[in-house]
Amino acid sequence: MAQPATPTVRKIIHVDCDCFYAAVEMRDDPALRGRPVAVGGDPHRRGVIATCNYPARQFGVHSAMASSQALRRCPELVIVPPNFDKYRKVSTQIHDIFRRYTSLIEPLSLDEAYLDVSTSEQFENSATRIAQALRLDVRREVGITVSAGVGPNKFLAKVASDWRKPDGLFVIPPAQVEAFVTALPVGKISGVGRVTGERMKGLNLKTCGDLQQLSRLELGQHFGSFGERLYHLCRGEDSRPIQTGRRRKSVSVERTYEKDQPTLTDWLRELEGLLEKLKERFAKLDQHYLISGLTAKVKYQDFISMSCDKAGTDLEPAHFEALFCQLWERREGPARLLGIGARLRDLKAPQQPDLFPEERDKAMHNQRNKL
């Protein structure tokens, strides 16, 4: 009986720009260099920090923090208003550099991407040398720094890119994967947030090596559906391919207010404007999306956020009115932010054969007409 072919080890690079928005602003204004810098909203108009450089982080400033709070922590902080058109242009420059080395690129955001260089002929197919070269190209041609991680899969490459930030390169060769992940702290696993982390702490699970001692069944009992993924990640296993054509899973809009919206009546009054913007965004998507669910979100004065969901296949106002009412019932109080959105079903995604294509086409037509 013929032996199955040994799978080829992939070579994945994860590239992450260092403090991207702030780095671009410091590049364009030399007076900002060496100072604590953040990109974000006006602290006097309830702005929020989008990102900040490392000198600012030393004071405890971080993204999603209120700009006013950031200034209290770092009185010398320079807050620059964001210029997303400029950041998109810089991102395009960086991706043009990526394409010199591979066409298999999965963008995660303006400043982050996976590259599959498994079959690249550059630098004798050395992923390490490719990562070194593209980092040098970005520094020389774009004027900012990027950190890169090299590994045999997406999980390990992403962990590696964060290992020597900023302006670093870290490589996890296949032969070193077992030793590396055994000692890896559980907090480095994508998907392990505060709640899961506390649960692991309670179980005295500190490293991936500790997780490896639990069976699939035990991981499932402790962590639900996430347990199966944990079983593989704690062993350094990740079979996800590079997705060159990333598709949307949702579409949403939100608004932060200069003055709180104090009552449910005020919340509902804001719905018309939010819904108009949501419909505009949905209309700009291609014709292969269907709405599969609806959501609403509120952030209160104390920055605590709550959200709720419901089934739905159209963007009728009554659906979102019901969601806002549910949120108000859970917690009454002034809102500093309101948002609404829709979960999407992607008809281009792999799925079961469509036994009733006429019904699918009719549903898609009806959804678009309801806009």
Catalytic residue positions, numbered: 112
Closest residue by Cα to residue 94 from 68, 72, 115: 115
Distances in whole angstroms, Cα of residue 42 to Cα of each of 36, 66, 259, 369:
16, 9, 14, 39
Q: Is 111 annotated as a binding residue?
A: yes
196 vs 326: CA distance, rounded Å: 27
3-state secondary structure of 51: strand
- The number of beta carbons lying within 10 Å of the beta carbon of residue 221 is 11
Q: Which residue has the tokens 């593989």?
A: 232
> What is the DSSP annotation of 284-344?
HS-TTEEEEEEEEEEEETTS-EEEEEE--SS--HHHHHHHHHHHHHH--S-EEEEEEEEEE
Interior/surface letters 107-141, b for 16+ CB within 10 angstroms, e for the rest: beebbbbbbbbbebeeeeeebbebbbbbbebbeee
Tokens matching residue 341:
């959105």
Q: Is 286 annotated as a binding residue?
A: no
For Cα atoms 173, 175, 181, give the angle at the middle one, nearest 5 degrees: 80
Which ranges constitute the DSSP H helices of 150-291? 154-161, 177-183, 194-202, 208-212, 216-223, 226-233, 264-284
146 vs 167: CA distance, rounded Å: 5
Omega prior to 185 cis, within 30 of 0: no
Tokens matching residue 173:
């060769």
CB under 8 A, 24+ apart: contacts of 261-266? 261/334, 261/335, 261/338, 262/334, 264/324, 264/325, 264/328, 264/332, 266/335
DSSP state of 203: T
Residue numbers belonging to the annotated binding site for Mg(2+): 16, 111
Known binding positions: 16, 111
